[in-house]
């Protein structure tokens, strides 16, 4: 009986796998169409600077408004876009659009753009950034490229070359989701990071797990010793904000300050209210 149910499980599993496979195929087909028919748009989330008590930047976050699927989360479609190579086209659009939008935002603010490992290593990447900066005429130091630890996996020498080329343009580099991947001290000292973004999982657990506080304290201390800006992601409550401020996190991002919104809705963020409180 055990064997029979085992075989049955395999059949069910196969069917599921096949379903997943078909679903992927469909997403891929829809993504290709989406890239051509402008179904993508960017939303912006404010980044709050503790010292100046004001918004000092925005992170551009990609959204896909699909006619058949509704709004699709990047966590769902970015992996498919990466596997199929469509990410190069989408990612280039994101960089151009974010730079263009930055030109309409205050000069003292930065614009952060997420770049996936596949896009980062693609041949045209540095020239796409160069062109976007030229066309938008923004100061290159207003553009922040966010990469994850995944970028360093594989040919680290090649990754370093790309980072140096970006730095030569005047662009800033952030290490996103720090602490969730393959964190290594060797590349923090070897790579030219301007900012480290502490992953939101550590912030979420701040009240409950003393380990999270210890890790945030350590990362924040390391950043200030190395002259790297520290950012806490996913800050939702005033209690988290107070703890992170005590731990000298330089900048913070999360629903407490504002959710990601369209460019023309940016003024309605909570950040000003928080600023008034801490001032």
Question: 254 contacts which partner out of Mg ion, ligand C2E, none, CB within 5 to 8 A by kind?
Answer: ligand C2E
**β-strand 40-49 against 54-66: which pairing, if any?**
antiparallel
The residue number with the shortest CB distance to ligand C2E is 254
Nearest approach in angstroms of CB 247 to ligand C2E is 17
- Total number of residues that touch Mg ion (CB under 5 A): 5
* Run of H or E including 241: helix 238-246
Nearest approach in angstroms of CB 27 to ligand C2E is 15
Chosen residue from 88, 177, 247, 250 binding Mg ion by CB under 5 A: 177
Rounded to an integer, what distance in angstroms lies between the CA atom of residue 40 and that of residue 165? 28
Residue 33 DSSP SS3? helix
- Which parts of 151-270 fold into alpha helices (H)? 156-169, 185-190, 200-204, 210-226, 238-246
Decide whether 177 or 247 has the Cβ nearer to Mg ion: 177
Distance of CA 231 to the CA centre of its chain: 12
Distance of CA 195 to the CA centre of its chain: 12
Nearest approach in angstroms of CB 88 to Mg ion is 19
Spatial contact of 173 and 137, defined as CB atoms under 8 Å apart? no
What are the residues binding ligand C2E (CB under 6 A)?
45, 61-62, 73-75, 78, 91, 94, 114-116, 146, 176-177, 200, 233-236, 253-255, 260
By CB under 5 A, is residue 146 in contact with Mg ion? yes
Nearest approach in angstroms of CB 137 to ligand C2E is 22
Nearest approach in angstroms of CB 200 to ligand C2E is 6
Decide whether 146 or 149 has the Cβ nearer to ligand C2E: 146
Decide whether 75 or 267 has the Cβ nearer to ligand C2E: 75
Q: For residue 242, give both structure tokens.
A: 């107070």
Nearest-10 Cα torsion for 132, 136, 137, 138: -90
Spatial contact of 45 and 61, defined as CB atoms under 8 Å apart? yes
Rounded to an integer, what distance in angstroms lies between the CA atom of residue 262 and that of residue 276? 24
Q: For residue 202, give both structure tokens.
A: 């550590």
Cβ neighbors of 122 (< 8 A, separation 6 or more) are 88
- Only one of the segments 34-42, 80-88, 109-117, 241-249 lies at the binding site for Mg ion (rule: CB under 5 A); that segment is 109-117
Binding mask 212-241 for Mg ion (x = CB under 5 A): ---------------------x--------
| Binding interface with Mg ion (CB under 5 A) | 114, 146, 176-177, 233
């Amino acid at each position: 009986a055990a064997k029979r149910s085992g075989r049955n499980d395999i059949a069910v599993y196969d069917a599921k796998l096949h379903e997943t496979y078909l679903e992927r195929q469909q997403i891929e087909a829809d993504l290709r169409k989406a890239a051509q028919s402008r179904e993508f748009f960017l939303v912006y989330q404010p980044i709050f600077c503790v010292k100046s008590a004001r918004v000092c930047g925005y992170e551009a976050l990609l959204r896909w408004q699909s006619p058949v699927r509704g709004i699709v989360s990047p966590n769902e479609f970015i992996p498919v876009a990466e596997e199929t190579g469509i990410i190069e086209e989408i990612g280039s659009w994101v960089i151009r659009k974010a730079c263009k939008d930055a030109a309409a935002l205050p000069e003292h603010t930065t614009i952060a753009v997420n770049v996936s490992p596949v896009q980062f290593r693609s041949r045209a990447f540095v020239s796409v950034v160069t062109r976007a900066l030229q066309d938008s005429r923004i100061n290159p130091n207003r553009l922040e490229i966010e990469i994850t630890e995944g970028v360093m996996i594989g040919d680290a020498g090649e990754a370093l070359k790309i980072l140096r080329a970006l730095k030569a343009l005047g662009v800033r580099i952030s290490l996103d989701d720090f602490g969730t991947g393959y964190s290594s001290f060797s590349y923090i000292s070897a790579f030219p990071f301007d900012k480290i973004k502490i992953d939101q999982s550590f912030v979420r657990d701040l009240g409950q797990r003393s380990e999270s506080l210890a890790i945030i304290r350590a990362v924040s201390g390391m950043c200030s010793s190395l002259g790297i800006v520290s950012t806490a992601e996913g800050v939702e409550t005033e209690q988290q904000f107070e703890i992170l401020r005590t731990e000298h996190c330089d900048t913070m991002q999360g629903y407490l300050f504002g959710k990601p919104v369209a460019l023309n809705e940016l003024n309605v963020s909570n950040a000003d209210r928080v600023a008034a409180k801490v001032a």
